[in-house]
Amino acid sequence: MQPTIKKYSLFVIVTALLVSCNGEYLDISPRDRITEDQVWSDPSLIELYVNGIYAGVPHGFETHMWSKYTDEAYGDNTWLRGEWNPDNISSYGQSSNWIDYYEQAYKYIRRTNVFFSELDGTPLSDWERAALSGQVRFLRAFIYSHLLWRYGGVSIVEDVFELGDEYTFQRDSYGEVVEYIIGELESVLANPEVPEYISPGADSFGRVTKHAAMALKSRVYLYAASALTNTGNNISLWEKAASSAKEIIDLGAYQLHDNYSDVFLDVNEELIFARTFNSTTGHAATFINTNHVYGGYGGWGGRNAPSQNLVDDYEMANGQPPYLSDGSINPASGFDPQQPYENRDPRFYQTVIFNGDEFRPADRGNAGPKYDVTQEATAINNGEPVITGTVGPDNYKLNGDNSRTSYSLKKFIDRNLVISRSQAYPQPWIFFRLGEVYLNYAESSYHLGEEASARNYVNLIRERAGIPPLSDDVVGEELLGRIRNERRIELAFEGHRFFDVRRWMIAPETESKDIMGVDIFELPDNTLYFKEKVLIERPKWQDKFYWIPIPRAEINKDSGVAQSPGWD
């Protein structure tokens, strides 16, 4: 039996109730013991307490998406130039998708620990206790997973510490934290009061389910099996990653949504676990990622503006990459550098707003229906345009909040609601979906030598996208490269790229390439001239960049916690 989910104004009430949980993340002293006593004596308030813990899992609709800290987008100069360190990492908090998640994570871990410490003395029924425990245990596991992926091994803390307590912590190993997370998830899976599945569209969709636990288990094992942390290539980790993904696939509870673009606009049959929003409690992703022409804000340089690096990796409609590994044009692709946006993978058109694209034309007013980043030029002399100064309405020279790359983000962007600072947007942030699970399984299968199975699940993704399947002669390292590129394209802007390039240990290559954009010049005969440009020069890779440093202020507390590898 499951508890009835009650509707409250969560953030107002929970904030008032849990004011005593603010402050230092490991040694918070309750400031209002009477209020906390009231919480643990009232089942409704206990449920609100649990509701508040969901906010501890970061969603991706903050101002700066993970894409800005990778080669997916034009982003943060300090970060992309490699100037981040233990002394400035704390500036990458909530607005930066909680890259610096250390204090925030342990604050919420403490809340989960408080819940378990108080549970036995509450008036909850047995089934309420079990149901809420399952949710909290999953959330604690998810929070630890985010810590693990950012910092490597971290301290596993289950006790509740008060101000004045003596304590010393040490980092548990990566493997120990994985084992702990898996143990928590197995407990959730064994809990009879945690629902197997909640239908998309149900009021309670977004609550913890057994399927969400299975999906997290799949990703945890996939990351653990990868080269960065599986230095001995322990095949059993790949086996666990594969079996965890296949268990979800075999449920038959989820399907690839017919239209890739629509996957990200509303809840649907592909979603396993997501953060849901509505027009009251929604986010601002549409407003902050569209420019002034649409009524949006954009932000300096176009906010999360897709890079030329990403655009170049979209295949052609015939399933061929436009470029060969040496950077030359692939003759089998049909790619025309003078018409670079023609005949591309359909996901390009569903992810990126590009020059000439007609996206929400009715909202563009006098600017004309087509996205226009062109600059007028009278001629091209020795490769350099002779410009007149006239530019299109979406060009960055006209407004600093227009995209510097000449591309804008289309994925996630609302298609109907007014674009305004005062409008809240309801698109869900997807934590886990079937498309990712297919790619998890494909990658794991490849590393187990099951290349036919790997191709099959990549091809299911490609079939939905509308591009030809990988042929049987795509094998070995070529197949691995195509699997990785499929993940880059299918999961673009969903928060995976930062971790993927690190766990694959290809970051020394991808994160050393300059962030590129393109300038587009219109000549008197109406032809276009494309000139790529360097927007951010990337530094030489340093291996310490594999992990995020812990803020120096935390290390200076002398709690015994060691700094992340390479950042001492």
383: which 2 tokens?
A: 């490769």
Q: Which pLDDT score, from 0 to 100, does residue 558 have?
A: 80
Q: What is the pLDDT of residue 162?
A: 77
Measure CA 6 to chain center. 29
Per-residue pLDDT band at 115 (split at 50, 70, 90): very high
Q: Is the pLDDT of residue 89 over 60?
A: yes
Q: Identify the pLDDT of residue 210.
A: 98
Q: Which pTM value belongs to this model?
A: 0.92
417/382 Cα distance (integer angstroms)? 46
Q: Count other C-beta atoms under 10 Å from residue 529's C-beta.
A: 18
Split at pLDDT 50, 70, 90, the class of 163 is: low
Please check the confidence at residue 426 and state whether its pLDDT lies above 70. yes
* Pair 302, 403: CB distance under 8 Å: yes
Cα–Cα distance, 542 to 293 (Å, whole number): 40
What is residue 559's predicted lDDT score, i.e. its pLDDT? Answer: 81
Residues 6+ apart with CB under 8 A from 487: 439, 443, 496, 500
Which residue's entry shows tokens 């969400």? 212
pLDDT at 4 over 70: no
Architecture per CATH, 277-427+500-550: Alpha Horseshoe (1.25)
* 436: nearest Cα among 383, 390, 385, 495: 495
9 pLDDT above the threshold of 60 = no
Please say if the pLDDT value at position 557 is more than 90.
Answer: no
Question: Would you state the pLDDT for residue 386?
Answer: 97
What is the spatial distance between Cα 439 and Cα 444, in angstroms, rounded to a whole number?
8
The reported pLDDT for the residue numbered 12 is 38
State residue 32's pLDDT score. Answer: 45
The band of 301, judged by pLDDT with boundaries at 50, 70 and 90, is low
Token pair belonging to 300: 């300096």
Distance CA 184, CA 217 (A): 10
Q: What is the pLDDT of residue 29?
A: 41
Q: How far is CA 305 from CA 495, 517, 551, 562, in A?
A: 15, 10, 28, 36
Residue for token digits 């107002």? 12
State both tokens at 125. 């029924």
Q: Is the pLDDT at 43 greater than 80, yes or no?
A: yes
Mean pLDDT, the chain, whole residue set: 92
Measured CA distances, 470 to 460, 497, 544 (Å): 10, 22, 36
Q: How many CB atoms lie within 10 A of CB 165?
A: 11
Measured CA to CA, the distance from residue 536 to residue 300 in angstroms comes to 14
Residue type, 565: P
End-to-end CA distance of the chain: 51
Provide the Cα torsion 446, 480, 66, 248; round to 10°.
-20
Question: In the prediction, which pLDDT does 298 show?
Answer: 78
In this prediction, residue 37 carries a pLDDT of 79
Q: How confident is the model at residue 477 (pLDDT cuts 50, 70, 90)?
A: very high
Distance CA 113, CA 53 (A): 11
Q: Taking the CA atoms of 341, 343, 349 and 351 in sequence, report the sign of the dihedral they define.
A: negative
Length of the chain: 568
Is residue 303 predicted with pLDDT exceeding 90? Answer: no
pLDDT tens-digit readout, 134-149? 999 999 999 999 999 9
What six digits make up the tokens of 429?
A: 């942030």
Average pLDDT rounded to a whole number, residues 458-473? 98
Reply yes or no on whether the pLDDT at 14 is more than 60. Answer: no
Q: For the segment 336-373, what is each residue's pLDDT rounded down to a tens digit?
A: 999 999 999 999 999 999 999 999 999 999 999 999 99
**H or E stretch including 275?**
strand 271-275
The span from the CA of 529 to the CA of 380, in Å, is: 8
pLDDT of residue 164: 65
pLDDT digits (tens, 9 = 90+) for 235-279: 999 999 999 999 999 999 999 999 999 999 999 999 999 999 988
Name the H helices within 295-395.
308-312, 346-351
Nearest alpha carbon to residue 493 among 46, 71, 58: 71
Q: By mean pLDDT, which of 53-67, 164-178, 391-405, 515-529 is the weakest?
A: 164-178
Dihedrals φ, ψ of 323, to 5°? -125, 150
Rounded to whole angstroms, the Cα distance separating 423 from 295 reads 11
Domain segments of the chain as ranges: 277-427+500-550
Give the DSSP H or E segment for 377. Answer: strand 375-381
